[in-house]
Amino acid sequence: MKYETVIGLEVHCQLKTKTKIFCSCSTEFGKNPNENTCPICLGMPGVLPVLNRQVVNFAVRAGLATHCRIEPMNQFARKNYFYPDLPKGYQVSQFDHPLATGGYVNILIDGEKKKINLTRIHMEEDAGKLVHGENMGNPESSYVDFNRTGVPLIEIVSEPDLRSSEEARAYMVELKSILEYADVSDCNMEQGSLRCDANVSLRPFGQEEFGTRTELKNINSFKFVQKAIDYEVERQTSLLEQGDKVILETRLYDSNRGVTYSMRSKEEAHDYRYFPEPDLVPIVLDEACVEEIAKTLPELPEPKRERFTAEYGIPAYDAQVLTATRPLADFYEETVKLHNHPKAVSNWMMGDLLRELKNDDQEIQDCKLTPQRLAGMLDLIEAGTINGKIAKTVFEEMYNTGAEPETVVKEKGLGQIADEASIEKLVDQILEDNPQQTADYRNGKEKLMGYFVGQLMKASKGQANPALANKLLKQKLGSGS
Amino acid sequence: MADPTNAPTLLQAREDLKNKKYSALELTESCLRRMDAVEDRVQAYLHISREQAIEQAKAADERIARGDDAPLLGVPLAIKDNICTQGLPSTCASKILGQFKSPYNATSVDRALKAGAVILGKTNLDEFAMGSTTENSGIHPTRNPWDLERVPGGSSGGSAAAVAAKECVAALGSDTGGSIRQPASFCGVTGLKPTYGRVSRFGLVAFASSLDQIGPMTQTVDDAAVLMNVIGGKDPLDSTSADVPMPDFTQALNRNVKGMKVGIPREYFTEGIDPEVETAVQNAIKTLQSLGMETVEVSLPHTKYAVATYYILACAEASANLSRYDGVKYGHRTEHAGNLMEMYENSREEGFGEEVKRRIILGTFVLSSGYYDAYYLKGQKARTLIKRDFEEAFKQCDVLAGPNCPLPAFKLNEKLDDPMQMYLADIYTISMNLAGIPAMSVPCGQTQGKLPVGLQLMAPHFQEETLFTVGKQFQLATDFHKQFPTL
């Protein structure tokens, strides 16, 4: 039997506030264990939380950027469970009054737009981190680092609208892009500021009701989203084909072995005993307040993509690549403003620039190339000062050193030779060095022209103006002697 | 300089200190001497901070010498041990906190210290403020200074006993369901539970977050007003503290009560009330009438649901609030654990007392999936109805008056084995916490056995001033508050 994959994702995104959600501790990553803590985030007896309003602001931005309805009445709730990284024995989260509901994210699958609906977005605090003793202290002991405790998160819950691991990946990519555009998170997946749990189930094609799902926990890269789901789909398929049943359970993805394994079954599932957090007053978000925040949102990836294809006439694929991040899109637009050949700019950015950035693992805003320099180089090509091949050298030099294109051309002597006398001299020399070929050409073997052009380019280190070179070669070869 | 052999009232102490009748150091030392004399019998304190108190008293004397006139300057206070004090143990009378020392001061303590107070020590309570007798203390019980065979009430039994035994000038207590008013009543002192949100809860170890309030326990209504002026008011560290104007409560003390209407809740004088308690309270109401107040009978029809509602909601919140005592970070950790689950279970099994465990289990149950709607949600609805009862009653009167507890102080061990009977004795005090309104207990008589009885006065939200006015005028007309036990 053929099975259809059904996936819903729960994405946790760390908001980029300077301080934690309920106290004034720093959220900076990479500090010494327990350096970013205080009695409040450590859950000492008697402490109370005070909400960081910037968290609400960011969360509203995320909600608006994903077309959600922002709920006017917001309430926090306590999610109760015991774990050593959870100092209060409950996590302050949201339950029946989440921040945002409805909403959707459009993804592109094989050039087709697909709408992925969102159930909700809610705010919550992150837990701490357990460090087991193998690498420090007593190998028999576990240690707790509470630096991450109380770092603000939003959880974005999708409907089970995804039908393949590719769609799940595309959704994550698009969501990351949206959150970065909305400027609410640095979405650094390696540091865990964007991670997801995936609910995966199978059902026979055509069947309406969902199959039994498993929840895959703690996936922190685009690659792993796809791999974890692929593994799980394969596992569930073979279970079903053998006539076995899928068990409702939570599974962890082990990225080293590329497998998922059972963490706890439904029988062991937590009863979180949610109830309204009595230490925090409800947050009322009236329309005017939401309106104010909406005004500060920038153009988002999808409308920008559509504008790029319409305004610049570039292919949809180019538009998607160029709008992946806001700095990349801004770079493109600024370059086009200075050198109005959108496709040429796109080609250079999607080819050479993105390749270099990827090789160096660098972000565009951190590299030495500027829109002015790239546009300047394209101007030089257009003016015939350099050809496309030389431009590669110029580009590399600009990218590595931050030099101006004109300077590179001048200092490396890369400008085209466009004066007739110099080229004529080279042509004469080539004809003299190749008497046989010259004779053959003159006897009608005209396809030898390519050979002569090659020789001339070699002799001029690629700098001979191609049009002039052609003209003079034809002239000299044709004239006989 | 005269020696303050017997702790004076707060007002008296401030006047004497100002007039250099004695120094803050002498006053503090006299309180410490009093503790030396009676503490082995009363056991009001869990920790006495002798050295720190002497340092604070000396500092207060320096401030006095400079002409400083802060409202609590040089005044020795006792602090209930569920209110955090930096550098001193803050244990909630629970073994699970061991000798835990808080790294910070509660806002109310911080404000008292800035106003010049001297902290004598931390007073006993029912573990985590859960109980009505202070017998649930994980350390030792406290005795009622009026009758050492009886309980001081609870959970702020240590603070009430310390004030009654003159082991301090005044004290701070906390009240989640009557924990200030009932022991004040049992020990013959004045106790105020302020409006929810009036006093910051920051640093008050949470029992039931939506019900807990810190308040003063004093010898007189005047003293309570002075303490409230210091500890009250919005705190940026407590989101539930109210941003409402803070009046000077001492201004309310000398207002006239003539023509004010006092409501008598019908449901507070039904069967079950001890006849001597009823008589004392009825006599107090006659005194109020003699002051020119009009009485009107009112009804609080949902009173019968208060105990059930309270124990559902308070235990639900407590079950989460007490989760942090898990042996991981501070306090007691079991020595008998082979794995994480055993560490949790044994640490908590060994650290918590019976009553605390009972309430954690009750609270966990009512929040469990499948039971939430039937208990917690229904409890919230009942809470709204109880709140409305008061709103309706206050349409007909300015203040309500009634008993605090159906009974005078119980004998030690009398009710320890019957939690249901103990919970029912909270009937007259828990509704105010559910409604969030302020209520005060003032001494209003004694039984034939010389046990104090308290009159409970209740006012609408943020109208503590009414309680100060009525309470003060009552104390002007009576002298129950001037009577102290002989020890």
Which one from B80, B122, B166, B415 is the annotated catalytic residue? B80
Q: B321: nearest CA in chain A?
A: A88
Same domain assignment for residues A143 and A161: yes
CB atoms A43 and B324 under 8 Å = yes
Whether A84 has its CB under 8 Å from any CB of chain B: the answer is: yes
Which domain does A64 fall in, by range? 8-212+274-291
Q: Supply the pLDDT for residue A415.
A: 75
Whether A48 has its CB under 8 Å from any CB of chain B: the answer is: yes
Same domain assignment for residues A378 and A357: yes
Same domain assignment for residues A192 and A282: yes
In whole angstroms, give the CA distance from residue A466 to residue B10. 103
Interface test with A, best of B94, B110, B202, B239 (most A CBs within 10 A): B239
Residues of chain A falling short of pLDDT 50: 481
Number of other residues whose CB lies within 10 A of the CB of residue A11: 24
Q: Is the pLDDT of residue B457 over 90?
A: yes
Structural domains of chain A, count: 3
From chain B, pick out residues whose CB is under 8 angstroms from the CB of A80: 319-320, 323, 367
Q: Which CATH number fits domain B10-258+439-482: 2.40.50.140, 3.90.1300.10, 3.30.870.10, 3.40.50.300?
A: 3.90.1300.10
DSSP label of A174:
H
Number of other residues whose CB lies within 10 A of the CB of residue A97: 17
Same domain assignment for residues A391 and A440: no
Cis peptide before A255 (omega within 30 of 0): no
In whole angstroms, give the CA distance from residue A215 to residue A236. 12
Q: Supply the pLDDT for residue A80.
A: 97
**C-alpha closest to that of B29 among B61, B5, B46, B65:** B5
**C-alpha closest to that of B31 among B47, B54, B1, B65:** B54
Q: Is residue A101 part of a domain?
A: yes
CB B177 within 8 A of CB B383: no
From chain B, pick out residues whose CB is under 8 angstroms from the CB of A280: 239-240
In whole angstroms, give the CA distance from residue A457 to residue B384. 91
Q: Is residue A252 part of a domain?
A: no
CB B78 within 8 A of CB B45: yes
Same domain assignment for residues A376 and A443: no
In whole angstroms, give the CA distance from residue B479 to residue B173. 23
Burial A438-470 (b: 16+ CB within 10 A, else e): beebeeeeeebeeebeebbbebbebbbbeebbe
Beta bridge partners of A260: A253
Q: Who contacts A283 (Cβ-Cβ below 8 Å, separation ≥6)? A: A51, A56, A73, A74, A75
Q: B211: nearest CA in chain A?
A: A278
Q: Who contacts A324 (Cβ-Cβ below 8 Å, separation ≥6)? A: A173, A177, A301
Q: Is residue A219 part of a domain?
A: no
Q: Is residue A405 part of a domain?
A: yes
The distance in angstroms from the start CA to the end CA of chain A is: 80
From chain A, pick out residues whose CB is under 8 angstroms from the CB of B323: 80, 82, 88-90
Q: Supply the pLDDT for residue A480.
A: 55
> Catalytic: B347?
no
From chain B, pick out residues whose CB is under 8 angstroms from the CB of A51: 239
Q: Supply the pLDDT for residue A10.
A: 97
Whether A46 has its CB under 8 Å from any CB of chain B: the answer is: yes
CB A329 within 8 A of CB A306: no
Same domain assignment for residues A200 and A97: yes
> Catalytic: B387?
no
Same domain assignment for residues A123 and A162: yes
From chain A, pick out residues whose CB is under 8 angstroms from the CB of B320: 78, 80, 88-90, 273, 275
E strands, B98-247, are 118-123, 170-175, 190-193, 213-218
Beta bridge partners of B401: B457
Q: Who contacts A134 (Cβ-Cβ below 8 Å, separation ≥6)? A: none
CB B138 within 8 A of CB B353: yes
Q: Which of A260, A291, A322 is the last residue of a domain?
A: A291
CB atoms B237 and A78 under 8 Å = no
Residue B21, φ and ψ in degrees, nearest 5: -65, -35
At residue A86, the 3 state secondary structure works out as coil
Whether A398 has its CB under 8 Å from any CB of chain B: the answer is: no
Q: Is the pLDDT of residue B372 over 90?
A: yes
Same domain assignment for residues A444 and A313: no
Q: Supply the pLDDT for residue A481.
A: 45
The domains of chain B are located at: 10-258+439-482
Same domain assignment for residues A28 and A65: yes
Position B404, amino acid: N
Can you give the CATH number for the domain in which A429 is found? 1.10.10.410
Cα distances (angstroms) measured from residue A177 to each of A8, A105, A467? 19, 11, 45
Q: Is residue A20 part of a domain?
A: yes
pLDDT in tens, B286-313: 999 999 999 999 999 999 999 999 999 9
pLDDT in tens, B36-52: 999 999 999 999 999 99
At residue A106, the 3 state secondary structure works out as strand
- Reading across the β-sheet that carries B213-218, which strands appear in turn? B45-48, B118-123, B76-80, B170-175, B213-218, B190-193, B439-446, B452-458, B399-403, B261-265, B294-298
Confidence of residue B1 (pLDDT cuts 50, 70, 90): very low
**Average pLDDT across chain B, whole number:** 96
Same domain assignment for residues A53 and A160: yes
Q: Is the pLDDT of residue B94 over 60?
A: yes
Helix (H) or strand (E) holding B357: helix B354-367
Beta bridge partners of B97: none
CB B176 within 8 A of CB B154: no
Q: A85: nearest CA in chain B?
A: B328
Same domain assignment for residues A306 and A346: yes
CB atoms A45 and B84 under 8 Å = yes
> Catalytic: B80?
yes
Same domain assignment for residues A41 and A130: yes
